[in-house]
Each structure stands twice: as structure tokens, then as C-alpha cells.
Structure 1
Amino acid sequence: MRSIIRTALAAGSLLMSGSLVSAQTQTQRGEYLVTIMDCTGCHTPGTFLGKPDMQRPLAGSEVGFQIPGLGIFYPPNLTPDPETGLGRWSEADIIKAVRTGVRPDGRQLVPVMPYHSYGKLTDADAKALAGYLKSLKPVRNQVPGPLGANEKPSAPYLTVVMPR
């Protein structure tokens, strides 16, 4: 009887450690995806000013993009802060936004967010990406905007100027 109990405990221990390894691997995969997809390239404060604030990675940008005829859009806070970031979004909400460009409130993301390309993520990679974002330390950082085409910006933004 004792040998059966020991065997059961050992099997349970292996299953638990396997799920921890799997979760750790999924988080590492999410971090890898955030890196190769260059999420910090738009969503980290200071990046567009030449001084990325790596104390607040993925906390949103204070510099936006002007899309002619649409307005100015500031890369949002991707940390799980409930007030200024993705803290109230589920993993499914994040996956939908990354793949389709549609936020939980129904607003369409602008095409400067490459959701058309990210729509090709496998289910496992999309889940790893969303899980990683949910695992980050929440950073409270309210970004400006978005602003409509006729609204006056109070924060810097990038624009395209056509040659004359």
C-alpha cells in the first residue's frame, strides 16, 4: 500500500512540475514573441525620442502617429494596469485585438498596428503572447489620444510629409 501511495505522490509531483515547466515555457515564448515582433519599438515610453525608458517597457508611448484623414494615434499601454493598460482585458480580448485589430469596445485599431501580419500567429503563439502581456508588472501610464483628424494634439506625433 505504501509503495502505491509513494508512486501516486511521485506521479503527481511530476505532473505538477511538468505544468510549471510548460507555463514557464509559454511565458518565455510570449517574451520571445514580444521581442521579435518589436512591441517595445512602439509601445515603450521614450522610444521615438531616442531614449527608451526600459524601467517602463510596453507602458505606451507619448509620441503618436498621424494617419492622414483619420487622426493621431498613440501606442497604448500594454501592461496589465487596470486603469491605463490591458488590466481589464482577457487573454481572448488581447488575442482578438492582435489578430484582427478590434478592441473589446469594438474600436478598430489603425493599420500602423500590424494586426494583418499578426493575424497569422498560431493559436499557441497568440496565447503565449497574451499570457506574457498579462504576466507583466502593471505600470500606470496614461497615453494621449486618440485624436480625430480635426482635433488639436497636445503631445508630439510623427507624420508623413509628401515631397513637393
Structure 2
Amino acid sequence: MIGALASQAPANAGSPAVERGQYLVNIAGCNDCHTPGYFLGKPDMTRYLGGSEVGFELPGLGVFHGPNLTPDKETGLGAWTDAQIVAALQTGKRPDGRELAPIMPWHAFAKLTRQDVDAIVAFLRSVPAVKNKVPGPFGPNETPTGFVMKVVPPAKPK
């Protein structure tokens, strides 16, 4: 897996900001939730960060898929401004005002330095664009159309 991640050299790999961003994205595990095939044991590194076909079901909230983080303008972050990506990472708010799913650790990313969050944005801008619209989100009463991992509360003691 590390070799596969290392092979995802960004287009402008010589940039210190892009290299720092790549390092941060890799250690933060962004690949886990945002790369097709990862949760099925066969990550498709040709679509690195292109969005997951497996969603998380959160009780009472619905099912959420890790979206496409590549610079594709239609299905990824390509139409977002740098400031909108920073806001999503550090406040949990999308450009349309919706909150990110609670599974997204934006509270942790809110503690990143501005230099580090800008480096993440620079890296995300540098990865190859992947056209991949992920399913959902699905509300608690909607039927998901793909694989789902459930977050299940523990059984109550008898």
C-alpha cells in the first residue's frame, strides 16, 4: 500500500507545498475514505481520491460516501475555490452550506496550521482529475444504491 501511495506523484511534485500536502493527506488517511475500492480491499490507485463506492451509515442520519477530492469540475473539487476547500476542512461546511458528515474528522483538521491546510489544497489541486460521482447522500429513510458500512450502537445490557 505504501508503494501505491508513493506512486501517486503529483503533477508539480517539485513544489514544497504540494509535497507537504501529499505527506499530510497520506498520514491523515484521506485515501481510506476517498479512493474507490479501498474498503473492498482493492484500492483503485488509478482513481486515487476519486470518491468511494462504499458509504457509512450513521444511525438517524443516513448514508454518506467519501466524495471525490480530485480537481474534476463536475464530480470533484474542481469548481470549489481554495477558500471553500479550506472552509470544508476547518469548519465542516460545504460551499452549499451543508455540513460534512460527522465521520469526516474536520474537527481535527481545524487544528492544522494555515500553512498545512494550504499545502493540502495545493496537493489536491495537483492530483489527476477523476470523473466519478459518488452515490448519495441518503437520508435515514432513503435506500442507498451501493455498498454500506454500518455504525452500530452496542446492544443494551440485559
TM-score using structure 2 length: 0.87
CA distance in 2, matches of 1:113, 1:144: 16
- Which amino acid in the other structure matches residue 34 of structure 1? V
Aligned to 2:68: 77
Higher relative contact order (CA 8 A, sep 6+): 2
Structure 2 gap segments, 5+ residues each: 1-11
Alignment match of 1:42 (pick from 33, 42, 55)? 33
Aligned CA RMSD, in angstroms, stands at: 1.3
Deviation at 1:160, TM superposition (A): 2.3
The unaligned stretches of length 5 or more in structure 1 are 1-20
1:109 maps to what in 2? Answer: 100
Identity over aligned pairs, percent: 55
Q: What are the within-5 Å matches in structure 2 for residues 1-150 of structure 1?
A: 24-150=15-141
Report the count of equivalent residues: 143
> Which amino acid in the other structure matches residue 43 of structure 2?
P
TM-score w.r.t. length of structure 1: 0.84
Listed one character per residue, the Cα deviations across residues 118-161 of structure 1 (whole Å, up to 9, x for unaligned) are: 10010000100011101111100111000000001111110023
Give the deviation of 1:31 after TM superposition: 0.5
For 2:19, give the aligned amino acid: Q
Q: What code does the residue aligned with 2:63 have? A: I
For 1:73, the aligned partner's letter is F
Equivalence for 1:153: 144
Give the Å deviation of 1:42.
Answer: 0.6
Q: Which runs of 4 or more aligned residues in structure 1 lie more than 2 Å from their structure 2 counterparts after TM superposition? A: 160-164
Larger radius of gyration: 1
